[in-house]
Structure formats: structure tokens, C-alpha cells
Chain A
Amino acid sequence: MAKITGLEKADAPRMHFDIYAIVEGAQELYFGHEVQVNVNLVETVRVPINGETVEKCYLSPTKRRGVERRSLIWAPTAGGQLLGDRQGCGVPRTCADQTCPICSVFGGLEAGKKTLVGRLVHGGGVAVQSLPPEEKQRAMHPSMISKTTGDDPTPFKRQYDQPGLLFPIYNHCMSITDQEFQAVAYAFLDALARIGAGNPKGVRIDNGLRGDEPFLVVDRYLTPKGQRPVVSPSVCEAEKARQSFRESAFQVYGQSGRNEPVIEVENFTRCSGQEALRFLQEQADGFVNRVLNARS
């Protein structure tokens, strides 16, 4: 029976990483769904809750994945090129090279020739509050200062997710090196301001009611010893979602009652809140220095 080894043995050990966050729409947002004649709808998802079906706005994780991948493809490098041009890596034509900082984590495909398994998976995206989308009338106004007949604005209706909606989002990385994770951290942070189709764009990490508690958890581990702060799609109240996230964040097996920002046990490390944000920012910085600013 043939035995097949895995990847080229990496210089560095491979670990699993998870990012859990609650993000808040800082203003109205548009994640498109279907296009009817003259009405643009946002994507909503129906969630079965206690025998009923509740409709909630949806920040599809696959859309977020695309925003993150493009953050990397369009990242500026020291040579003046964008990273995707420097690597020869785009979408859907990826380079599928094991050494590409994008494909080694997102995966790649050269149809019929090469596949590189993706190690980063995106999750979450079901809004917490069941606030329905608001329909607004917008118009495309021509830019003439002096208007004549015929220069009429074109009205259209568009739905938007209401501001203040909370979205739990998760990034899961299977078996990557610390260096590879730097790209994940960079893309996660960079994408936050770019999420949303058209304008306006942008979500921010929820800071809680007092504004000082980033709802962010980062795990780095071989053995998953922490309770995963996953907010169930059936939760509809903001405070309940935050509470469930907070409680899970501090549950690490064998370490009950430790509400510390960094919990380190054998084969498992968890950072929460400000510490998690600091860790991601450090990793993103590492990516900029090591990859983007590299002279080669």
C-alpha cells in the first residue's frame, strides 16, 4: 500500500489558529443578494428559531473571504508593485505555489495541473439582531453645475443593513506556520474597512457597551482546549451574544475562572480582547516587514 507524505516539511512547526470576533456595522452596509428591477436587495438568511423562521441580515463568509484575499493581492510592496502582480497570483488564476504567501493559506488551483489545499476557512456572518434591512431611495445625480433639461437624476431603490448590526465572524486556519499566519492577520485587519459592496463600506470590531472591550479572541494551538466563542445564529439580542462570547472566551479546559487576557496551557494559547488585537497587529506588521517590504 503506497504511503504518501504530506507537504514539503516546513522549517517551522505547523499550528492551528482561530480568530473569533464580533464586528459591528459602523454605518449602513450593502451585501447584495438578488437584483429585481430597480430594487437592490441585501442578502438575508432565514434561521429556524424555536419552530419559527426569523429573517436576519447576512455577511456571507465567502464574500468576506474574497475581500481578504484581494487585500493580499492588492497589498502594496516596496518595489511599487502590488503583491499579486509580484507573485503572478490573482483570482481565479492563482499561482498555486507552495511558497506564495497567498496560496499557501487560501489554497490555489491551476486547472488540470496543480491543486494546493486551502488551509483558511471563513465562518459566521449571521447578524445577531433581527433588524430588517431598510429600503432607501437613492438617485444618481449627474455632475453638471448648470443643469439643463435632460440632465435628470436617475432614481433607484436600495436596501441597506442597518447601522449597529453585530456580526459574529470567524477565521479558522488548519496546520499553518507562524509566518503563514502573518498573512491571515494582515488580511483580517485590512479587510475590516473594505467589507461591503459599493459604498459605504466598513465594519469595526465591536468594543462592547463601555467601548473598551474588543470582542476578539485568537487561539494558537495543537490541541483545541478552549471553548469556542461561537455565537449561535438563534441569538437575537446584542447583550446576550456578547455575554455568550465573553463566557466562552474564558473557558479553557483545566483552567476554570481565569479571566485573563492571555491563557497559556500545554499545546494551547488564547489571547482575548486588547491582547488579541495587539497580537494580530504584531503579526500583520511582521507580514509587512517580511513580505511586502522585502527586496527581491
Chain B
Amino acid sequence: MRDGIPAMYGIKMTIVPTAAMTFRILPGSLLHIATYPFLPPTTMSGFVRRLWEMERCGDIPKTDISGRGRNPPYYAMPSNMHVLGAFPKSYHIHRTYRQGVRDFKYTLSARLYRDSSAKEVYQLHTWEYLVAEKLCGYVISEDQEMLEQLGKLKNRGAKIGKEGYAFIDSVSDVRSLKREIRSAVPSTFVPGETGIGLSGDIYTLYRYVWKDGTAEEQGRLFEQDAEEGFTPSEIDGFQPLPAVWVREQVEMEYLTDGTEIFVPVEMVNFF
């Protein structure tokens, strides 16, 4: 945990999905695919990074597991860009059934002819999709210029989460954020211990564990030209933490622009 937080700036990003989305809740069952009812911070970080790469060089990083054991590189926004997730005002979780794969060695779904000797069978999953018209996302940083660059991503879209596609409908101007104790509806969920005792839904979320000394180098992401390759993020893994999604007025310390953005101060320490 850091002592004291320097001057912060923030932007609000409106993300519009063109499909139902699945942000898989982990840990979970293999047969029931559940979704968070919002876009988690780390997923949003990867999404924004993908859009950034499409803006920079027109291509997206590939998810290559060959030659690296089972550890494909992560591509996220730099650690000094606090990507806080995106939240719908109204939504519905669509829970349905899908006949999925039992074994990747089968060719079950491609068969025109199946006889009774074939032992290939489907695996029934229940699957949840998040149906929402738009999501309000937030990115906070000390670096005002880097935040301004994110305005270039307006109207860009990419695949998001396990299923679905979304595009950035609007990016607000960069707002200066002040620390204030007041009563407001939090714009994001309330992370960690600060959430204890508040009324809302509790989720287990995951934050990146960054390797030491990477923030400065990561900033160079914004200075790369179109010819350079993709720079993986120096992420060691993930750490779980609880979070409460509170949707009523609550008094606590926020980073706020006074009107639209109310981010619980602790978010900057975790994401």
C-alpha cells in the first residue's frame, strides 16, 4: 500500500457492446460458465491495450503458447494507468445452455455423418451472458498526457472477454481528481477491506502482480512507433481480492471530479 496519493487525473470511457458478453468468474466450475455483471479491471486493461495496438500498428498481439511452455505473454496497459473496469446502469444476465466440447481431439461438431460406434459426445454447459446496452469505464493516472492519448481510441472496437465485441463510444476529457470524503454512489466497486459492511454484491476479483521496477519502462508503450513489435507486460501473475459492488449512496473517501467520477480511493492501490 502506498502512503499518500499524488495529483490524479481521470477519464470516463463509454463502452458499447454489439453482442452479449461473458467475463468469466474464476475460480469456477468447468461446466457452469458464470459471468461478472461488469467488465473487470484486468479484462478492461487488456481490451484497452488491444485497441491501443490496433491504433498504433493496425494489428493485435497473438496469444502464442508454443515455445513458451504454457505461459503466453500478457498484454495490458502499463501499471501507472489505473484501469478500473466498466459498469452498466442496467443489465440482465442471460443464463442458457450450450452443448460444448468434451475433448479437443474430437471432430464432433464438424461431422456430417455420425454412426453409433463413434464415442464422441457433447458436454452440456450452462453459460451466462451479460446483456447490457452500455458500460461506463474509468481510467485514472498521474500522467495527464498519457490519458489524453486514450482519446484516440474513440470508435475503435475489439473482441472483449470470453465472448463478444465492444467499441468505445465516447471518451471524456481529462478531469482533475481531488480526494474528498463525501456521500455518493461509487462509480466502481469498492475493493478490499473498505468494502466490509457495505451493502451490495460481493465478488472475488483479481489484480495484476507487477514485477518490480516496471512502471517507467511501461510508459514507453506510448512512444513506440508503428514498426516495433508488441511489448509484453511484465506481469508475474494475479492476486485475488474481494470487492463489493455498491449501488447506493455511501460516504467514504473518493477521488472525484465533483460531478461524474467517484472512485473509492483504495482502487488506485489495487488496480
Contact = CB atoms under 8 A, between A and B. Distances in A.
Nearest to A222: B58
A249 to B, nearest CB: 15
A77 interface: no
A193 interface: no
Most buried by B among A13, A62, A170, A228: A62
Tell me the interface secondary structure of chain B in the complex: loop
Contacts of B17: 123
A254 interface: no
Nearest to B167: A228
Interface in B51-104: 54, 58-66, 70, 72-73, 90-92, 94, 96-98, 101, 103-104
Nearest to A234: B133
A114 interface: yes
B110 interface: yes
Nearest to B159: A121
Interface stretch (B175-183, B228-236, B246-254, B260-268): B228-236
Interface stretch (A1-9, A136-144, A151-159): A1-9
A125 B98 CA distance: 16
B118 interface: no
A94 B114 CA distance: 18
B161 to A, nearest CB: 11
A230 B60 contact: no
B104 A33 contact: no
Interface residues on B, range: 35 or more
Interface in A106-129: 109-119, 121-126
A47 B94 CA distance: 9
A3 B58 contact: no
Contacts of A43: 96
Given A172-B159, A175-B59, A46 B66 contact: no
A1 B232 CA distance: 8
Interface residues on A, range: 35 or more
B133 A125 contact: no
B19 A175 contact: no
Contacts of B54: 16, 174-175
A46 B92 contact: yes
Interface of B: 16-20, 54, 58-66, 70, 72-73, 90-92, 94, 96-98, 101, 103-112, 131, 133, 155-159, 163-165, 167, 217, 228-232, 234
16 contacts: A2-B232, A4-B229, A15-B58, A45-B92, A46-B94, A46-B131, A91-B108, A92-B107, A92-B108, A109-B104, A113-B65, A121-B19, A125-B20, A175-B58, A224-B156, A228-B18
